[in-house]
Amino acid sequence: MVNLLKSILIGLVEGITEWLPVSSTGHMILLDEFLQLDITPAFRELFLVVIQLGAVLAVAVIYFRRLFPFFPGTARAERKAVWTLWGKILVSSVPAAIVGLAFDDKIDAMFFNWQTVAAALIFYGIVFIVIERRKSASPTVTTTAGLTYKNALFIGLFQLLSLIPGTSRSGATIIGAMLLGASRGAAAEYTFFLALPVMLGAGALKLLKFGFAFTSQELAILAVGCATAFLVSLAAIKFLTGFVKKHSFTGFGIYRTALGAAVVLWFAVR
């Protein structure tokens, strides 16, 4: 029961931080320092990645019509637009897929620690603040349809940065899109869509490496965590889409920087 309660709390944090540019993986690593599940190290590594599948399911539900080309009553032009969007998403996913498959274990071994998380939180927090302060021109891309395939590849290269824990997948892709002239709304929405193949691929890779020989307790922990992440993500996605219409990302930059500094202070004095 204690493990299930911890799983709910972890799912809550995952559902919130997965879509905000504050690094869900970074928060998961830090939370694990203070709230460790009574599970094997191998299952813990799997859990912290596969729980993201619950979060990504929320995107499929909220944007089902935008992402499913065979929705009843969809006109030919709309269907073509959906396939074009998926083409761009796949182009953006290629860099992370290549590097992730080749160096997944090495990246985990080298960077899955609080020092990396703290440094990434602070660095990209400052980047967000700087970009927002320098951003004065009106965005040239206001919808995801306005992104070109070249833009998609550029955003995919930025997504590589998120392989380092603490960077934030959504944060990296939002920064990349905004540097291309995308509005905050278009950048945020595209990062939602881009999460589908990336997170499904990461989860599938971890499952294949771990195998499917789960104990009943492990299945329960995983199911509860994923379900919680899904429900919370529904609210988090709607919050961010509304937030960016009226506010900048400066607040997230300040939060990241402050959290990174707090992490360094905590581990320095403990």
Longest dimension (CA), the chain: 62
Q: Is pLDDT at 135 greater than 70 in this prediction?
A: no
Confidence of residue 253 (pLDDT cuts 50, 70, 90): very high
228 touches 8 (CB < 8 A): yes
Q: Is pLDDT at 32 greater than 90 in this prediction?
A: no
> In the predicted model, what is the mean pLDDT of the chain?
87
| For residues 129-153, average pLDDT | 87
What is the 8-class DSSP label of residue 160?
G
Enumerate residues 6+ apart whose C-beta is below 8 A from 68: 82
| Number of other residues whose CB lies within 10 A of the CB of residue 83 | 9
Retrieve residue 17's tokens.
Answer: 């931080």
| For residues 106-124, average pLDDT | 85
- Single out the residue of 176, 175, 140, 192 nearest to residue 248, CA to CA: 175
Retrieve residue 257's tokens.
Answer: 């920087």
64 touches 235 (CB < 8 A): no
Confidence of residue 136 (pLDDT cuts 50, 70, 90): low
| pLDDT computed for residue 139 by the predictor | 85
Measuring CA to CA, how many Å separate 12 from each of 56, 158, 198, 206, 232? Answer: 14, 27, 21, 21, 6
| Number of other residues whose CB lies within 10 A of the CB of residue 253 | 24
